[in-house]
Amino acid sequence: MKKVWERIAGSALLPFLSFLLAFFISGFFIAFSDANVLKTVGHPGKFITTALSTVGNAYLALFQGSIFDPNLTAGHGFMRGFYPLSETIVTATPLILTGLAVALAFQSGLFNIGAQGQFIFGAIGASYVGFHFTFSPVLHVALALIAGVVCAALYGGLVGLLKARTGAHEVIVTIMLNYIAGFFILWILKTTTFLRPRRIDPIAPDVKPSAQLPHLAGADFRLHAGILIALVAAYFVWWILNRTTIGFQFRAVGANASAARTAGISVSRVTISTMALCGALAGLGGAVHVLGSQYALTADIGGSFGFDAITVALLGRAKPFGTVLAALLFGALRTGGRTMQSNTTTPLDIVLVIQALIVLFIASPTLVRFIFKVKNLKTNAAMTAKGWNG
Amino acid sequence: MSLELNAITKSFGALIANDGINLAVNDGEIHAILGENGAGKSTLMNIVYGLLQPDSGEIKVDGKVVTINEPSDALAVGIGMVHQHFMLIPVFTVLENIVLGHENTSKVGKLKLHEARERLMKIANEFGFEIDPDAYVENLPVGVQQRVEILKALVYEAKVLILDEPTAVLTPQETDELIEVMKRLRAQGTSIIFISHKLREVKAVADRITVIRRGKVVATAQPSASQEELAALMVGRPVNLMPDKNPPKVGAPILVVKDLEILDPSGRALVSDVDFEVCAGEVLAIAGVQGNGQSELAEAMVNLQSHVRGSITVGGVEIVGKSVHESLHEGIAFVPESRELNGLIGSFSIAENLILDTHREAPYTKGFALSPKAVAIRGEEQAKEFDIRYQSIQDPVSSLSGGNKQKVVVARELSRPVKLVVASQPTRGLDVGSIEFVHERILAERDAGRAVLLFSTELDEVVALADRIAVMYAGKILAIVDATVSREELGLLMAGVKK
Ligand SMILES: Nc1ncnc2c1ncn2[C@@H]1O[C@H](COP(=O)(O)OP(=O)(O)OP(=O)(O)O)[C@@H](O)[C@H]1O
Ligand SMILES: [Mg+2]
């Protein structure tokens, strides 16, 4: 048991230190981009206190906007204070699934830049089944989810097929397919099948209540069952990778493709199935996003879930549970950032700075090691050079 | 320059890889280190070169204690190292590789290669190296790449040069050239620490020999000692350098190769007109200088080559056109030439590597599910049977010493029921004791009625194991001769001379 804990602590150390550093440095950005702080530059004493209070307020707002806000409890009871946490989880849910889509690909040695497109296809499939058909509640949700997953799995599998058959690089193919998905959704929302009656802006009808994911904490909170689906998916990815034959093959191809081939593992089959599975995960994200919180398909349904997924997977060290934590962190930064922007003078963009810095430090373990003087920082095998000598 | 190591100790977890090692290398001497696989030789050298930190002990250069935290510290005190796996950038020229990390630039940042070129040529002349500074490293043969590594060390004024198994990847000719280079360096006053499992080479160049066993210095020896004596010192028991061979009981043909042609992607023939048979109960060795088509021929046996014409049958079943998995399934054990590239997955555990090609089978797989427990149990059994030295079966295979890695590959391939064993360089990097063991296993496979196709560039190995020898030259089989052929004749055939 102790060993397991040591392993977790060992692999969480780098992200944790990067996190601290990123907040520390972002503090300077907050202070030096603030008009009030800059006014006091001439008076060192005043300067320091204003700077500290500005940074403190910004981070406090970030916390209140993402986890717990005592101001909300007035008149609504203590639990209402957790409304921001519910929002954090709602934002993180699709991100967990797209993050898993990228992480799984990393484990097979593939760079899935296409989670965005796969997410969009998942959203389209789920939305169509959700608003067009009528079924009994549980069945309807299940069918809508399946429709999203299948659409996106095909879209992702196409990448694998192209790579396996023609050698086309998955990064190029997925980037192109992201554009295609982006324009496809614009077009499909103009067709009579999808366009909401009596509307001209691109928006589809709401999915029927029978296809909506149930709320988990009552009608006051947007928290929905999608998070449970995402957690199950994370466990599923872990199980696939570590406890199944196909996962063994995924990891083998990811770690040393030519040794895997020599041992009789079909690299092209692994490539196709990985990409299909990644598509399915990202598509599940899209489906959950539509059925759980958006209800209506819009042209910008994808947001940046598919792109942030790359960062999230990187931060989560391409491990399923790491990805969950990273996605929750990103969800918190995003929702908290909005509160920070409205309650303080610090702009939302600082959140991007924080995110970028975290990734920067994760990607340069030598720097973090140097700053904190820690010796054996674990770096990520999936993402650093694969060389090893004997 | 003299180098002295005092009581160097280094452990990895519970394993003591170096246990109070004392070693003195005198000015201008070639000091050989002998030791079993996993004895701690590379660990010791990595400590001297600053790649690892010792737990305790001190390093003295010319009598003064030095601290070496990084390779740059080692270079600063005049210690250079050539790794078994070269640290060169293939798409750079020789000169660019040599200045790498020590670039001199003009004010606007333009590389100033002029001085470096002069310096390189001066040193190359001084030591009698022939080298084209503008050749791209990827186009150079392995032996020449190694010389670039040595030059790199010399350009930065290494006075002690560490060579860790430099000959493992060289052809016999390249090895002879390296030995000449080493002698020339010694004559110029450079000290060399030389690690090799090939006793013949050690005897040929070493001035003194230190023997390490399980992390401790157990003996020093003179190069005049016989190979048998040296082998016994290393392993701690008498070693049979020439395996005892029963007369072959040759059965029906198992592997039949007809009109085989292997093309590269551009359609050029790498191997052509190859016809041969291997029968049950015999060893056919394919000898030849590296790069004459043996690697491609070996890979074609399990369909790892994509452009193959002709026919390969195993037990009457056509192999050409099948997938790798199907070919292996027809009853072929395949030991690939390079364990690092094709044999092992470095980040996978020892246990996982031991089932790399059988992971789909029971008891490891049930339905979709893979049982880590069954994998671990099997791993421990096999590791024990093949004397693989490890700490935990769950450790990544990359933490094993070179020879133990090779044993993982051999163990995996030789413990499946097969009809045909295809083994390329099966003892590369192994110590004499392990070579004896692997040779016995291969002969046991033969005596159990399997066909064995052996690819080896080691003449000693070919002569020790083969019943018949096919010599490859320029992609063709020049001749198939009986194993009783003289070494001279074999040498001539390998050079392409047919009587
Ligand atoms: N980074 C590491 N972590 C854990 N164990 C290690 C590590 N490096 C080496 N070892 C262990 O230390 C021992 C000595 O290894 P070393 O590589 O020095 O052997 P060697 O004498 O060079 O053997 P070979 O002749 O096979 O190359 C081995 O048992 C090896 O498994
Ligand atoms: Mg070694």
Q: Same structural domain for residues B220 and B261?
A: no
Task: Assess if residue B348 is contained within a domain.
Answer: no
- Flag the least confident range among A58-62, A354-358, B105-109, B315-319: B105-109
Q: How close is the nearest chain B Cα to the Cα of A273, in Å?
A: 14
Taking an 8 Å cut-off on Cβ atoms, the answer to whether A252 and B356 are in contact is yes
pLDDT tens digits for range B252-266: 999 999 999 999 989
The alpha carbon of B398 and the centre of ligand 1 are apart by a number of angstroms equal to 9
Q: Same structural domain for residues B221 and B308?
A: no
Q: Same structural domain for residues B112 and B260?
A: no
Q: Annotate B481-493 with b (16+ C-beta within 10 A) or e (fewer).
A: bebebeeeebeeb
Q: Annotate A138-158 with b (16+ C-beta within 10 A) or e (fewer).
A: eebbebbbbbbbbbbbbbbbb
Contact A32, A350 (CB under 8 A): no
Q: What gap in Å lies between CA B101 and CA B110, rounded to an integer?
A: 15
Q: Is B198 in the pocket of ligand 1 (CB under 6 A)?
A: no
Taking an 8 Å cut-off on Cβ atoms, the answer to whether B360 and A258 are in contact is no
In this prediction, residues A115-125 reach a mean pLDDT of 98
Q: Same structural domain for residues B131 and B265?
A: no
pLDDT tens digits for range B326-340: 999 999 999 999 898
Instruction: Note the pLDDT of residue A5.
Output: 67
Using CA positions, which residue lies closest to atom 25 of ligand 1? B37
Q: Same structural domain for residues B313 and B212?
A: no
Tokens of A58: 């910004």
Q: Is B433 in the pocket of ligand 1 (CB under 6 A)?
A: no
ipTM confidence score: 0.86
At B270, the pLDDT band (50, 70, 90 cuts) reads: very high
Taking an 8 Å cut-off on Cβ atoms, the answer to whether A390 and B304 are in contact is no
Instruction: Note the pLDDT of residue A8.
Output: 67
At A315, the pLDDT band (50, 70, 90 cuts) reads: confident
Q: How close is the nearest chain A Cα to the Cα of B498, in Å?
A: 35
Q: Which domain holds residue B110?
A: 3-235
Instruction: Note the pLDDT of residue A375.
Output: 62
Taking an 8 Å cut-off on Cβ atoms, the answer to whether A259 and B302 are in contact is no
Going edge to edge, which strands form the sheet with B64-66? B15-25, B3-12, B56-61, B64-66
The DSSP bridge partners found for residue B287 are: B471
Instruction: Note the pLDDT of residue B278.
Output: 97
Contact B279, B253 (CB under 8 A): yes
In this prediction, residues A320-343 reach a mean pLDDT of 94
Q: What is the CATH number of the domain that holds B51?
A: 3.40.50.300
- Is the pLDDT reported for residue B484 higher than 80? yes
Q: Same structural domain for residues B49 and B185?
A: yes
- Is the pLDDT reported for residue B18 higher than 90? yes
pLDDT tens digits for range B443-460: 999 999 999 999 998 888
**Residue of B385 and B289 predicted with greater confidence:** B385
Distances (CA, A) of B264 to B91, B269, B286, B305: 21, 6, 21, 9
Q: In one letter, which amino acid is A269? A: R
In this prediction, residues A311-326 reach a mean pLDDT of 92
- Is the pLDDT reported for residue B43 higher than 70? yes
Pairing of strands B468-473, B283-287: parallel
Nearest residue of chain A to residue B46 (CA atoms): A390
- Is the pLDDT reported for residue A385 higher than 60? no
The DSSP bridge partners found for residue B60 are: B4, B65
- Flag the least confident range among A222-226, B110-114, B180-184: B110-114
Instruction: Find the helix packing angle between A365-372 and A2-32, rounded to 10°.
Output: 90
What percentage of residues in chain B have a pLDDT greater than 70? 98
Q: Is B133 in the pocket of ligand 1 (CB under 6 A)?
A: no
Q: Among B235, B261, B288, give the residue marking a domain's end.
A: B235
Taking an 8 Å cut-off on Cβ atoms, the answer to whether A263 and B429 are in contact is no
Q: What gap in Å lies between CA B222 and CA B235, rounded to an integer?
A: 17
Helix (H) / strand (E) element for B422: namely strand B420-424
Nearest residue of chain A to residue B359 (CA atoms): A245
Place of tokens 């998995």: B325
Q: Is B293 in the pocket of ligand 1 (CB under 6 A)?
A: no
Instruction: Note the pLDDT of residue A387.
Output: 28
**Residue of B385 and B243 predicted with greater confidence:** B385
Instruction: Note the pLDDT of residue B100.
Output: 83
Q: Same structural domain for residues B96 and B148?
A: yes
Q: What gap in Å lies between CA A361 and CA A367, rounded to an integer?
A: 7
Helix (H) / strand (E) element for B9: namely strand B3-12
Rounded to 5°, angle at Cα B270 from B265 and B273: 125
Q: What gap in Å lies between CA B37 and CA B212, rounded to an integer?
A: 10
Q: What gap in Å lies between CA A361 and CA A352, rounded to an integer?
A: 14
Q: Same structural domain for residues B132 and B214?
A: yes
Q: Among B184, B209, B235, give the residue marking a domain's end.
A: B235
Sign of CA dihedral B430, B434, B435, B441: negative
- Flag the least confident range among A15-29, A228-242, B103-117, B409-423: B103-117
Helix (H) / strand (E) element for B200: namely helix B199-205
Q: Same structural domain for residues B228 and B288?
A: no
Q: Is B17 in the pocket of ligand 1 (CB under 6 A)?
A: yes
Contact B275, B260 (CB under 8 A): yes
Task: Assess if residue B316 is contained within a domain.
Answer: yes
Instruction: Note the pLDDT of residue A109.
Output: 95
Contact A213, A292 (CB under 8 A): yes
Alpha-carbon Rg for chain B in angstroms: 24
Q: Is B6 in the pocket of ligand 1 (CB under 6 A)?
A: no
In this prediction, residues A354-375 reach a mean pLDDT of 83
Which of A30-44, A125-139, A342-356 shows the highest mean pLDDT?
A125-139
Instruction: Note the pLDDT of residue B240.
Output: 86
Instruction: Note the pLDDT of residue A3.
Output: 63
Rounded to 5°, angle at Cα B420 from B416 and B424: 90
- Is the pLDDT reported for residue A344 higher than 60? yes
The alpha carbon of B52 and the centre of ligand 1 are apart by a number of angstroms equal to 12
Helix/strand/coil percentages in chain B, nearest 5: 35, 25, 40
Q: Same structural domain for residues B118 and B179?
A: yes
Q: Where are the alpha helices (DSSP H) in B386-416?
A: 402-413
Q: What gap in Å lies between CA A313 and CA A200, rounded to an integer?
A: 38
Q: How close is the nearest chain B Cα to the Cα of A387, in Å?
A: 9
Q: What gap in Å lies between CA A97 and CA A324, rounded to an integer?
A: 8
Contact A13, A371 (CB under 8 A): no
Partner residue opposite B345 with nearest CB, options A244, A245, A255: A255
Q: Same structural domain for residues B112 and B83?
A: yes
pLDDT tens digits for range A258-290: 999 999 999 999 999 999 999 999 999 999 999
Neighboring chain B residues of A388 at a CB cutoff of 8 Å? 340, 346-347, 398
Taking an 8 Å cut-off on Cβ atoms, the answer to whether A262 and B339 are in contact is no
Beta strands in B315-387 (DSSP E): 317-318, 332-335, 365-366, 369-370
Q: What DSSP line would sit under B18-83, residue for residue?
A: EEEEEEEE-TT-EEEEEE-TTSSHHHHHHHHTTSS--SEEEEEETTEEE---SHHHHHHTTEEEE-
Find the Cα–Cα–Cα–Cα dihedral A134, A138, A139, A140, rounded to 10°.
40
Nearest residue of chain A to residue B400 (CA atoms): A390
Helix (H) / strand (E) element for B489: namely helix B487-494
Task: Assess if residue B20 is contained within a domain.
Answer: yes
Note the CATH architecture for domain A2-385. Answer: Orthogonal Bundle (1.10)
Task: Assess if residue B122 is contained within a domain.
Answer: yes
What percentage of residues in chain A have a pLDDT greater than 70? 93
Q: How many CB pairs under 8 A join A and B?
A: 89
Q: In one letter, which amino acid is A129? A: V
Task: Assess if residue B89 is contained within a domain.
Answer: yes
Domain locations in chain A as residue ranges: 2-385
Taking an 8 Å cut-off on Cβ atoms, the answer to whether B346 and A264 are in contact is no
- Is the pLDDT reported for residue A386 higher than 60? no
Which of B345, B375, B404, B418 has the most A C-beta neighbours within 10 Å, making it the best mutation to test the interface with A?
Answer: B345
3-class SS at B469?
A: strand
Task: Assess if residue B126 is contained within a domain.
Answer: yes
At A301, the pLDDT band (50, 70, 90 cuts) reads: very high
The alpha carbon of A240 and the centre of ligand 1 are apart by a number of angstroms equal to 32
Phi, psi for A247 (deg, rounded to 5): -65, -35
Beta strands in B264-382 (DSSP E): 269-279, 283-287, 308-314, 317-318, 332-335, 365-366, 369-370
Contact A157, A272 (CB under 8 A): yes
Q: What gap in Å lies between CA B277 and CA B275, rounded to an integer?
A: 7
Helix (H) / strand (E) element for B327: namely helix B324-329
Comparing C-alpha atoms, which of B180, B187, B186 is closest to residue B160?
B186
Phi, psi for A136 (deg, rounded to 5): -70, 150
pLDDT tens digits for range A73-107: 888 889 999 999 999 999 999 999 999 999 999 99
Contact B365, B372 (CB under 8 A): no
Ligand 1 pocket test, candidate residues B9, B393, B397, B401, most atoms within 8 A of CB: B401
Question: For chain B, how many structural domains are there in total?
Answer: 2
Question: What's the mean per-residue pLDDT of chain B?
Answer: 91
Task: Assess if residue B350 is contained within a domain.
Answer: no
Q: Same structural domain for residues B221 and B305?
A: no
Q: Where are the alpha helices (DSSP H) in chain A?
A: 2-32, 35-39, 44-66, 83-107, 115-132, 137-166, 170-188, 226-243, 245-255, 257-262, 267-289, 305-315, 320-343, 349-363, 365-372
